Amino acid sequence: MILVRAIAVAALLASPLRAGEIPQEARRSGTTFMGPDTRAMQDDDTANPGMLFVLDGEALWNKKAGSADKACADCHGDARDSMKGVAARYPVFDKTLNRPVTIEQRINLERTQHQQATAFPYESRDLLALTAFVANQSRGVAITAGDDPEAKPFVEQGRALFMQREGQLNLACANCHDENFDKHLAGSPVTQAQPTGYPEYRLEWQTLGSLERRLRSCMAGVRAQAYDYGAPELVALELYLMSRARGMKIETPAVRP
Amino acid sequence: MAALINVPPKAKRGDIIEIKTLMSHIMETGFRRTAAGDLVPRDIITSFTCRYNGSEIFRADLFPAISANPYLSFFTIAKDSGKFEFEWIGDNGFSATASASITVE
């Protein structure tokens, strides 16, 4: 019996990764895996706790900062126009840095270069709030990230990381999120890992969190050493995941269990 | 601190209306420890009140087991046009207020 089980486990671990990706029509947002209560919480802007961060982000957008004494609004004006669709394109390839940057990194680049202010630390309330406010302007816009030809090598790097087994459990992202997204893990749906609503409010975290935080917790889950915040590998993974979710609509701030 | 209030802008006299409030707060329980083993001091909202045209219609005491960014919803009867005033009081001198208007026909 034990031998049979061992063979079954070995067969599962050895099964080749399914070629190709989840086709467009089969792509499902994490929202479709949730119960009606959590969905209702996300859909009602006065019950969605992520909207508290969006409000804080709006205040930061209009607040002057740094020795340049400029607010985001002084250059970018009304975010409802200037930031619409931006989150659907990010991470984007930055020609000066010669690498892709996330919205969080863009906000900090703007702060240090144009506002002459200090960068916000990763996962700080201010950075999450401003990112949520910017991304919220793209709610309902279809994702187009990764279309830039210069970004392609980084999309490929992210894809390779997604397919690569790691950690003591020796699992790749794809083992769960491409091959077994319709199943459950300890009672919770596995989901397709479509990053449509970041930064998102996780009830488990009791706060808003970035996609990098989510990726790091998955890495800890397979007993792997997580990459540091802002590491090129995490940005490449984020870029690949966004390009994998091509055509899906931005939901920021999403609520997840 | 940001707060989100949902009060129907209009109601008929005698209608039962739902009021929803969401307040930004970390609700630190006071039971958690840092990596170094030090206790993180309690920091929670301890009380919430709602006044309708000056008279108190709802009050709640909050405790450490309540989640961050507490969401409270309750019902009342629409009697007169006027103002709902909300007040949250908590540890470390925390105090926040918000208000919303209603037209009763």
Cα–Cα distances in angstroms (integers) from residue B33 to residues A208, A244, A247, B69, in the given order: 21, 39, 43, 21
Query: Which of B50, B58, B27, B56 lies closest to B40 in space, CA to CA?
Result: B27
| Secondary structure in 3-state letters for A24-62 | HHHCCCHHHHCCHHHHHHHHCCCCCCHHHHHHHHHHHHC
Looking at residue A226, its pLDDT comes to 96
Are the C-beta atoms of A236 and A158 separated by less than 8 Å?
yes
For the record, the structure tokens of A127 come out as: 């950075």
| Within-domain flag for B37 | no
For the record, the structure tokens of B55 come out as: 């008279």
- Taking the mean position of all CA atoms in its chain, how far away is CA B31? 23
Name the minimum distance, in Å, from the CA of A146 to any CA of chain B: 35
Which residue is closest to B7 within chain A, CA to CA? A46
Q: How many domains does chain B have?
A: 1
Interchain contact A45–B (C-beta under 8 A): yes
Does pTM top 0.80 for this prediction?
A: yes
Radius of gyration of chain B (CA): 16
Taking only the tens place, the pLDDT of each residue in B36-69 is 999 999 999 999 999 999 999 999 999 999 999 9
Interface test with A, best of B1, B22, B23 (most A CBs within 10 A): B22
Q: Which domain holds residue B16?
A: 3-31+42-104
- Give me the domains of chain A, ranges plus CATH numbers: 28-256 (1.10.760.10)
Interchain contact A38–B (C-beta under 8 A): no
| Within-domain flag for B72 | yes
Across chain A, which has 257 residues, the per-10-residue mean pLDDT values are 49 47 89 95 95 96 95 95 96 96 97 96 97 97 94 96 96 94 92 96 96 96 96 97 95 96
Interchain contact A200–B (C-beta under 8 A): no
Cα–Cα distances in angstroms (integers) from residue A48 to residues A55, A120, B75, in the given order: 12, 24, 19
Name the minimum distance, in Å, from the CA of A36 to any CA of chain B: 17
Interchain contact A58–B (C-beta under 8 A): no
Asked if A52's CB is within 8 angstroms of B24's CB, the reply is yes
3-class SS of residue A252:
coil
| CATH of residue B94 | 2.60.40.10
Residues forming beta bridges with residue B6, ordered by sequence position: B20
Looking at this predicted complex, what is its ipTM? 0.90
**Counting Cβ atoms within 10 Å, is residue A85 exposed (0-12), middle (13-18) or buried (19+)?**
middle
Looking at residue A18, its pLDDT comes to 45
For the record, the structure tokens of B72 come out as: 């409270």
Which DSSP symbol is given to B37? Answer: S
| Within-domain flag for B36 | no
